[in-house]
Structure 1
Amino acid sequence: MAFTLYQLDGCPYCEKVADRMDELDLDYETVWVDALHSQRNEVKRVSGQRGVPVLVDDDRGVTMAESAKIVEYLDASYA
């Protein structure tokens, strides 16, 4: 599985997703983003917006934002 999780240090929503991925024993790469929204160009390029968390699931061709939706997706697809 090839996951990339874009997250901000100290972001509780990002931690929620990372914790769930750890609980599901999913390996993922973390890309730490800048605190300034205006500097999150890579997140914008990948997801079309600058908010985090953003999960990219390369195996399924899925890119999504919003922690609740990501956790729901992970539970439905990998739990």
Structure 2
Amino acid sequence: MPDTELSGVHCRLDELLTERGMTLTRLSELVGVSLVNLSVLKNDRARAIRFSTLTAICRALRCDIGELLVVTPTPEAQP
């Protein structure tokens, strides 16, 4: 089961990069986070993110946290 389904949080990093014409490599250079860690975030496999990383990504992409991370509908628990 993907982490998105467990947490109910989706990272829109891929969409924001596309909208801004930026590569993951360039973002990595701007924020000082490895490509591997950004890829984990981009593919909704991250289990946590530091506030400093979150802030740096949002500054580089000129977005708000709510544009980067969104809550996704989760299936209702079965009785």
Q: Same fold (TM over 0.5)?
A: no
Which structure carries more helix by proportion? 2
Which structure carries more strand by proportion? 1
Higher relative contact order (CA 8 A, sep 6+): 2
Q: Which of 1 and 2 has greater Rg?
A: 2
